[in-house]
Chains A and B, each alone.
Chain A
Amino acid sequence: MAGAAPDSGTSAETTYRSARVPLLLPTWLVIGIFLILPVALMAVYSFLTKEMRGGVIWEFSLAAYDQFFINRGLFGDEPPSLEWTYISVFGRSIAQAATATTLCLLIGFPTAWFIATRPPATRGVWLFLITVPYWVNLLIRTVSLRFLIRENGPLNDALLGTGLISEPLAMINTNFAVQLGLFYSYLPFMVLPIYAAVERYNFTLSEAAADLYASRWVILREIVLPIVKPGIIAGCLLVFIPSMGAFLAPNLLGGAKNFMIGSLIEEQFKRSLGNWPFGAAVSMILMSLVLILLMLYARSMAKTEAR
């Protein structure tokens, strides 16, 4: 039978072979012109000279990257040393994103496991409940969280009411608020891929391990986690990457002190105050970090599949 032959194409799989180019042309054009070309332009901009009123002068310059990495003192006359201001913004963003990812994993894994072990009927309902917030406007979710945790907001009221605390907790405009915001924004992204992995998990393996005297938690560590690892990694990436470049959560929940990459970039494009080449350079650095992460991920996935 044809199906057994490698590379065999049945007619349905090749029905649109002759129409391939016209079918793909819109995709190529739209993404090529409105995404790849702009990103290439952004790369060019990061090597241009800034203009005071926002915008650029078409003259090659490394000033943007120089500003990012090298400290020449307030008046530019000191011996160059490593500039920590922006690197520490990246460091803080990465730390915040990592914390949020860890929180998501700690809550997300048990939740995903719990859902995947429900009978099929209730499983659908649980999945539905987990996905609903993903469909709700992120801005509205963030605003809601801000409303909930603000100094004299409902959460503090409730805590005061129960007598657990005697004065309102300062949650808003803290690091914690940002982490909570990121966690809250991207939690469904952690649950869904882990759920998909656990759903495919063959529970007989757990039974076999239990039969061989492994305890519940040993089974989890030795058998389950290694097998569902691809789902966990996918979930972590799906939370970590958008968290790193997030704008709304740090901006609405973190206040001025808890500045992250997103805000740093946004500042550079505010009307006349900005520095477009510097904004472009920071964006380039952020994008490179993300693409490196994704490439590492793709490589590790390819390795897993090859095994």
Chain B
Amino acid sequence: MALRSVRHYPSFFSIAMLCLIILYAPLIVVMVYSFNDSPSITNWGGLSLRWYFDVFTGPEAPRFRAAAWNSLTIAVLAATIATAIATAAALAMLRAGKFKGRSLTFALINLPLMVPEIVIAVATLIFFTMIGFTTGYLTILIAHITFCIPFAYLPIAARLQGIDGSYEAAARDLYATRAQSFWLVLLPLMAPGVISGYLLAFIISLDDFIITNFVKGAGMETLPTAIFGSVKQGIKPNIMAISTLMLGVSILFVTLSYLINRKGRQSP
């Protein structure tokens, strides 16, 4: 690419690098300090894994273990259910012709993205309090399913939209029933979108703090609420170790999603 190309703007490269530095510097710093062998977060005391051991065996370990268990099981359940609901909705939106209320349904699906998170938190808290339903785990799960639906829906619908109708027509032409054509042809073709939707919903559920914090009730913790509780008293090294672990999980997921999407693009 020639320097004189109209695509080239001087300083844009530096700004893009600055952008990366801003995005990554805090994460890298925390990652590095999580290996600090010092009870103080200010001084560097050499490399060690002591804070990782502390996370699993230290005084706060049971609390974090319970919170992690809650977070993971809620994320798995919420992502699974939201993905199933979103897949069904995508089929109805894109493979069931035009119908009255289609754009209204589309708005409905995307509503959790449009209403500010804190408002959803308040509304959900009021709702559950009013019906006297404050079991913690289940209320969090229900709230997570609700706001995960659009996150699961978007990649699934995008994928489905790109699948030409002729594949299903060909399957039907070759004597497949409606169900066979779905399971043997359409679903495998949709798979990259479904998996992306699932991963996104999973991460969004794992990520949520505000809504969970409102509806969790007493005694119930997920990882973000537990970490928030700890951080309020100051950042301790074990929080940095937990953060680094969660960072690892996130990077694993985003890498998976990236690879699946790339594979999906290669075989349309």
Contact present between A and B (CB < 8 A): yes
A19 / chain B contacts, CB cutoff of 8 Å: 91-92, 96
Cross-chain contact A148 with B26 (CB below 8 angstroms): yes
Cross-chain contact A136 with B29 (CB below 8 angstroms): no
115-150 of chain B: CB within 8 A of chain A: 115-120, 122-127, 129-130, 142-143, 145-147, 149
Q: Provided the pairs A10-B169, A137-B224, A280-B126 are in contact, do residues A35 and B246 lie with their beta carbons within 8 angstroms?
A: no
Q: Which residue of A lies closest to B166 (CB)?
A: A12
Size bin of chain B's contact surface? 35 or more
Cross-chain contact A140 with B96 (CB below 8 angstroms): no
214-260 of chain B: CB within 8 A of chain A: 214, 224, 227-228, 231, 235, 239-240, 243, 246-247, 250-251, 253-254, 257-258
Q: Provided the pairs A20-B92, A27-B89, A128-B258 are in contact, do residues A283 and B123 lie with their beta carbons within 8 angstroms?
A: yes
Min C-beta distance of B146 to chain A, whole Å: 4
Min C-beta distance of B242 to chain A, whole Å: 8
Q: Provided the pairs A107-B15, A191-B19 are in contact, do residues A38 and B124 lie with their beta carbons within 8 angstroms?
A: yes
Q: Is B42 an interface residue (CB 8 A)?
A: yes
Cross-chain contact A283 with B119 (CB below 8 angstroms): yes
27-77 of chain B: CB within 8 A of chain A: 27, 29-30, 33, 41-42
Q: Is B183 an interface residue (CB 8 A)?
A: no
Q: Is B20 an interface residue (CB 8 A)?
A: yes
Number of interface residues of A (CB under 8 A): 97
Q: Provided the pairs A30-B85, A31-B111 are in contact, do residues A136 and B250 lie with their beta carbons within 8 angstroms?
A: yes
**Contact partner of B114 among A117, A280, A290, CB < 8 A?**
A290
Q: Is A236 an interface residue (CB 8 A)?
A: no
Q: Is B6 an interface residue (CB 8 A)?
A: yes
Cross-chain contact A124 with B247 (CB below 8 angstroms): no
B123 / chain A contacts, CB cutoff of 8 Å: 35, 38-39, 41-42, 283
Q: Is B174 an interface residue (CB 8 A)?
A: no
A115 / chain B contacts, CB cutoff of 8 Å: 16
Q: Given the complex of chains A and B, what is the CA–CA distance between A17 and B100 in angstroms?
A: 12
Q: Given the complex of chains A and B, what is the CA–CA distance between A269 and B142 in angstroms?
A: 20
Q: Given the complex of chains A and B, what is the CA–CA distance between A30 and B227 in angstroms?
A: 29
**Contact partner of B118 among A153, A245, A291, CB < 8 A?**
A245
Q: Provided the pairs A35-B146, A114-B15, A245-B119 are in contact, do residues A141 and B172 lie with their beta carbons within 8 angstroms?
A: no
Min C-beta distance of A154 to chain B, whole Å: 5
B112 / chain A contacts, CB cutoff of 8 Å: 31, 35
Q: Given the complex of chains A and B, what is the CA–CA distance between A233 and B111 in angstroms?
A: 19
Q: Is A252 an interface residue (CB 8 A)?
A: yes
A132 / chain B contacts, CB cutoff of 8 Å: 23, 250-251, 254
Q: Is A68 an interface residue (CB 8 A)?
A: no
Q: Is A184 an interface residue (CB 8 A)?
A: yes
Q: Given the complex of chains A and B, what is the CA–CA distance between A131 and B89 in angstroms?
A: 26
Cross-chain contact B209 with A280 (CB below 8 angstroms): no
190-225 of chain B: CB within 8 A of chain A: 203, 206-207, 209-210, 214, 224
20-39 of chain A: CB within 8 A of chain B: 20, 22-24, 26-28, 30-32, 34-39
Cross-chain contact B117 with A242 (CB below 8 angstroms): yes
Min C-beta distance of A105 to chain B, whole Å: 12
Q: Is B24 an interface residue (CB 8 A)?
A: yes
Cross-chain contact A220 with B126 (CB below 8 angstroms): no
A245 / chain B contacts, CB cutoff of 8 Å: 116-119
Q: Which residue of A lies closest to B171 (CB)?
A: A12
22-64 of chain A: CB within 8 A of chain B: 22-24, 26-28, 30-32, 34-39, 41-42, 45, 55
Q: Is A304 an interface residue (CB 8 A)?
A: no
116-149 of chain A: CB within 8 A of chain B: 117, 124, 126, 128-133, 135-141, 143-148
Q: Is B175 an interface residue (CB 8 A)?
A: no
Q: Given the complex of chains A and B, what is the CA–CA distance between A17 and B117 in angstroms?
A: 34
18 contacts between A and B (CB under 8 A): A12-B166, A24-B89, A31-B149, A38-B124, A111-B15, A117-B7, A124-B262, A129-B23, A131-B254, A137-B206, A137-B247, A139-B207, A140-B227, A143-B30, A146-B235, A147-B41, A148-B26, A283-B118
Additional A-B contacts beyond A138-B209, A206-B7 (18; CB < 8 A): A9-B98, A17-B97, A27-B88, A27-B149, A38-B124, A41-B126, A42-B127, A111-B12, A114-B12, A137-B243, A139-B207, A139-B224, A188-B23, A203-B7, A216-B9, A248-B210, A290-B119, A294-B114
List the 9 shortest-distance A-B pairs measured between CB atoms, nearest first: A12-B165, A245-B116, A38-B127, A206-B6, A38-B123, A144-B26, A23-B92, A110-B15, A14-B97
